[in-house]
Amino acid sequence: MTKTKTLLLTSAALALSLGSAASAQEKTEFKVAWSIYVGWMPWGYLETSGIMDKWADKYGIDVEIVQINDYVESINQYTAGAFDGVSATNMDTLSIPAGSGVDTTALIVGDYSDGNDAIILKGEGGLEDLAGKPVNLVELSVSHYLLARGLDSVGLSEADLGGVINTSDADMIAAWATDDVQAVVTWNPLVSAILEQPGANRLFDSADIPGEIIDLMVVNTETLAANPDFGRALVGAWYELMEIMSSDTEEGIAARTAMAEASGTDLAGYDAQLASTEMFYAPTDAVTFASRPELPQTMVNVAEFLFDKGILGEGAPSADFVGVEYPDGSITGSAANVTFRFDTTYMQMAADGAL
Amino acid sequence: MRLINRTPGPALRVFLTLLPFALALVVYMIASEARLAANPQDRLLPSPATIGDTAVRLFTTGDRRTGRILLWHDTGASLLRLALGVGIAALAGLLSGLAIGLLPHVRAAFSPFVAVLSMIPPLAVLPILFITFGLGELSKVVLIVVGITPFLIRDMGQRVIDIPREMIVKAQTLGASSLVIALRVALPQIMPRLIQSVRLSLGPAWLFLIAAEAIASDLGLGYRIFLVRRYLAMDVILTYVIWITFLAFVMDWGLRSLSRRLYPWAGGGL
């Protein structure tokens, strides 16, 4: 009898621990997740350099920044409630947390990809030559979106290709070395590594669609609303580091060198990746970018791409299923289901020096 | 009465068999209920009803663009890879095991080599496999073969060595050649053991299959699971997991029945 009881109690405890999502009440301990990408390397440095702790102490809270090796897994963990914030692109934020009904706010607009994502062909040719060829990429990722935009620009569609083959980013460079692979779509630092090989030909990259692949720090809207100090601490720490990082002082070079090492390259390699990334070092630039009238159009394009690929889920009747709110209060998509918000309040505070 | 001598009656046995399944289901339902109450759109732990609806859709409705029912195509592609991989590995294991077990020269040359080879984690040398065998079907089959063959060879070799020496001597006094001993004495005795080893290898074989499909593919059960993970479609993933579990169970059961039918003398150990 006791055994059955213990078993039942254990199961109930297990069920509860699985079932608990991040709650929206006031709290003092926060966790954000990030993964390796040129525009997100500062998150790792914020944690190791102690800048994050300094800002968290200022607001009397505790913020832990955790690196997750698998990008999609980090977003899934955030969506499941294990983290209060995560580094993600606009597209993946729309498809995973926002599409799953987790109300999410883009707290920091960090950068947009300005050449970091690219379509690469083996040998000579142009985008038209992709017709009939298989293309290796991480399906349903920003690479897939870039490919769709690239094909669109020459009047082709995915149906004209010899197929898309889902290939793990971890094995992309090994895949490039095999004879089967004729074209890939991927992101940095893989793009630079592949372009170093003979015969690699860059056909199209994110600099051709500037401002459409945006790298963000997104946080749970309810958590942010209940704990504005969490937002202040994150934004304050971020822009302090942005100022250090963008300078060519000894401190700035030391910071970039540390980030370069953490991403497996050297200072020159990291600076080259930064050159194809439009970083918003100053909070005013980020605010201006997020308030641009082009942003809603980009998000509509992204939503249509996601819907077309079935990524918004079977419950999504149309591409307008998820509502996105912009800094001026305007909304694209369903106004009744706004789960993705671009909010410049905190970045504006940083711009005004009010943190 | 000692605990080890107390056996459950038929009714209690059925109850005890079902108990862990029921408990697992209840734990899942409580957790799913709790999450869905907090966020009705939660995708992590969909309700059993949602999984049921998704399963019906996956098994019966064609893809929006191509009209193909993807689940069946995925199943077909994966089972073909699995069958080829396991088949090749079983044949290689059987032949090498016989040679290693019966021929001292072969044993001296390959037994330690296979023992060392079986310790290499195949997933760690994936890039070499890709560059050697390409990214197509071949490399997926090769990964399964590389993953389970060393275990099968070692197991088969050991089984042949375990055959009582007296039998081999007796066959020799009756004038049997090495080949006849291999075919008439050793082979029949290790066949049931081969089937049992293949049953044990099916778990790792599935693991390698799904890993191979996750890395580079455009069809397959593992491919679909890793693809829909990108938007946390747990209803699809769980349907596939249940389906894979069912397929694996059927295979295991089929092999066990086959072994009992063909080699009833091998006893209840199978």
**pLDDT tens for residues A260-315?**
999 888 899 899 999 999 999 999 999 999 999 999 999 999 999 998 887 776 66
Gap between the Cα atoms of A235 and A66, Å rounded: 17
- Residue B143, pLDDT > 70, answer yes
Say how many C-beta atoms besides its own lie within 10 A of residue A116's C-beta.
29
Gap between the Cα atoms of B9 and B144, Å rounded: 42
Q: Are residues A146 and A194 in the same domain?
A: yes
Q: CB–CB of B23 and A7 under 8 A?
A: yes
Closest Cα in chain B, distance from residue A350 (Å): 32
Closest Cα in chain A, distance from residue B77 (Å): 15
- From A208, A238, A258, give the residue that closes a domain: A208
The proportion of chain A whose per-residue pLDDT surpasses 70, expressed as a percent, equals 92
Contacts of A165 by beta carbon, 8 Å cutoff, 6+ apart: A134, A135, A136, A137, B135, B216, B217, B218
pLDDT, position B231: 79
Tens digits of residue pLDDT in B56-70: 988 998 876 667 888
Q: CB–CB of A18 and B31 under 8 A?
A: yes
Q: CB–CB of B42 and A101 under 8 A?
A: yes
pLDDT, position A225: 95
Q: Are residues A223 and A107 in the same domain?
A: yes
A33, β-bridge pairs: A66, A86
User: In A, residues 305-324, which contact B (CB 8 Å cutoff)?
Assistant: 310-315
Q: CB–CB of B134 and A180 under 8 A?
A: yes
- When CB atoms are compared, the residue of B54, B57, B232 closest to A79 is B232
Q: What is the pTM of this model?
A: 0.80
Q: How many CA atoms lie within 13 A of A248 on its CB side?
A: 1
Is A11 in CB contact (< 8 Å) with chain B? yes
Residue A12, in any domain of the structure: no
Gap between the Cα atoms of B212 and B143, Å rounded: 7
pLDDT, position A14: 55
Gap between the Cα atoms of B81 and B141, Å rounded: 6
Positive or negative, the CA dihedral A82, A84, A89, A94 is positive
The proportion of chain A whose per-residue pLDDT surpasses 90, expressed as a percent, equals 69
Residue B129 pLDDT level (bands cut at 50, 70, 90): confident
Q: Residues of A with CB below 8 A from B33's CB?
A: 19
Q: Are residues A200 and A231 in the same domain?
A: no
- Residue A229, pLDDT > 80, answer yes
Q: CB–CB of A167 and B215 under 8 A?
A: yes
Residue type, A276: S
Q: CB–CB of B30 and A19 under 8 A?
A: yes
Closest Cα in chain A, distance from residue B219 (Å): 9
pLDDT, position A151: 94
Region A237-266 average pLDDT? 93
Report DSSP state, residue A21.
Answer: P
Residue A2, in any domain of the structure: no
Q: Residues of A with CB below 8 A from B223's CB?
A: 166
Query: Token match 């504005």: residue?
Result: A228
pLDDT, position B134: 80
Q: What angle do CA B146, B148, B151 make, to 5 degrees?
A: 115
Q: Are residues A204 and A226 in the same domain?
A: no
Gap between the Cα atoms of A14 and A18, Å rounded: 6
Under CATH, what is the fold of the domain B70-263? MetI-like fold (1.10.3720)
Collapsed DSSP state (helix, strand, coil) of residue B111: helix
Q: CB–CB of A19 and B136 under 8 A?
A: no
Q: Residues of A with CB below 8 A from B138's CB?
A: none
Q: Are residues A105 and A121 in the same domain?
A: no
Q: What is the CATH number of the domain that holds A273?
A: 3.40.190.10
- Is residue A327 reached through a cis peptide bond, with omega within 30 degrees of 0 on the bond before it? no
Tens digits of residue pLDDT in B63-113: 766 678 889 999 999 999 999 999 999 999 999 999 999 999 999 999 999
Gap between the Cα atoms of A7 and A13, Å rounded: 10
- From A176, A208, A240, give the residue that closes a domain: A208
Sheet with A135-137, side-by-side order of all strands: A200-205, A117-122, A183-187, A135-137, A164-167, B216-217
Closest Cα in chain B, distance from residue A228 (Å): 22
**A331-332 and A323-325 strand pairing:** antiparallel
- Residue B152, pLDDT > 60, answer yes
- From A177, A208, A239, give the residue that closes a domain: A208
N residues, chain A: 355
Residue A1 pLDDT level (bands cut at 50, 70, 90): very low
Collapsed DSSP state (helix, strand, coil) of residue A29: strand
pLDDT, position A103: 94
Q: Total structural domains in chain A? A: 2
Residue type, A21: A
Gap between the Cα atoms of B270 and B259, Å rounded: 8
pLDDT, position A313: 65
- Residue B269, pLDDT > 60, answer no
- Residue A349, pLDDT > 80, answer yes
- Residue B270, pLDDT > 80, answer no
- Cβ-Cβ pairs closer than 8 A, A with B, add up to 122
Q: Are residues A176 and A140 in the same domain?
A: yes
Residue A121: which domain range? 117-208
Residue A48, in any domain of the structure: yes
Q: Are residues A190 and A163 in the same domain?
A: yes
Q: Residues of A with CB below 8 A from B26's CB?
A: 11, 15
DSSP string, B149-175: HHHHHHHHHHHHHHS-HHHHHHHHHTT
What are the start-end ranges of the E strands in A212-275?
214-220
The mean pLDDT value of chain B amounts to 91
Q: Are A326 and A296 in contact (CB under 8 A)?
A: yes
Q: Which of B70, B131, B135, B137 to mutate to test the interface with A (most CBs of A within 10 A)?
A: B135
**A117-122 and A183-187 strand pairing:** antiparallel
Query: Token match 């935009």: residue?
Result: A149
Gap between the Cα atoms of A114 and A216, Å rounded: 15
Gap between the Cα atoms of A244 and A252, Å rounded: 5
- Give the CA diameter of chain A: 75
| Per-residue exposure over A268-284, b if at least 16 CB sit within 10 Å of its own CB, e if not | ebbeebbebbbbbbbbe
User: In A, residues 161-200, which contact B (CB 8 Å cutoff)?
Assistant: 163-168, 170-171, 174-175, 177-181
Say how many C-beta atoms besides its own lie within 10 A of residue B113's C-beta.
10
Tens digits of residue pLDDT in A89-135: 999 999 989 988 899 999 999 999 999 999 999 999 999 999 999 99
Q: CB–CB of A165 and B218 under 8 A?
A: yes
Q: Are residues A339 and A227 in the same domain?
A: yes
Q: Are residues A340 and A238 in the same domain?
A: yes
Residue B216 pLDDT level (bands cut at 50, 70, 90): confident
Residue A52, in any domain of the structure: yes
Q: Are residues A76 and A136 in the same domain?
A: no
Q: What angle do CA A187, A191, A195 make, to 5 degrees?
A: 165
Closest Cα in chain B, distance from residue A247 (Å): 37
Among residues A206, A181, A213, the alpha carbon closest in space to that of A305 is found at A213
Region A37-46 average pLDDT? 94
For residue A268, what are its two tokens? 């020159």
pLDDT, position A315: 61
Closest chain B CA to residue A158: B65
- When CB atoms are compared, the residue of A72, A181, A312 closest to B135 is A181
Q: CB–CB of B44 and A15 under 8 A?
A: no
The gap between the terminal CA atoms of chain B, to the nearest Å, is: 29
Contacts of B4 by beta carbon, 8 Å cutoff, 6+ apart: none
Domain boundaries, chain B: 10-40, 70-263
Q: Are residues A89 and A193 in the same domain?
A: no
Collapsed DSSP state (helix, strand, coil) of residue A108: strand
- When CB atoms are compared, the residue of A15, A168, A177 closest to B30 is A15
Q: CB–CB of B230 and A141 under 8 A?
A: yes
Region B204-230 average pLDDT? 89
Q: CB–CB of B34 and A20 under 8 A?
A: yes
Q: CB–CB of A11 and B23 under 8 A?
A: yes
- When CB atoms are compared, the residue of B23, B54, B217 closest to A165 is B217
Q: Are residues A52 and A146 in the same domain?
A: no
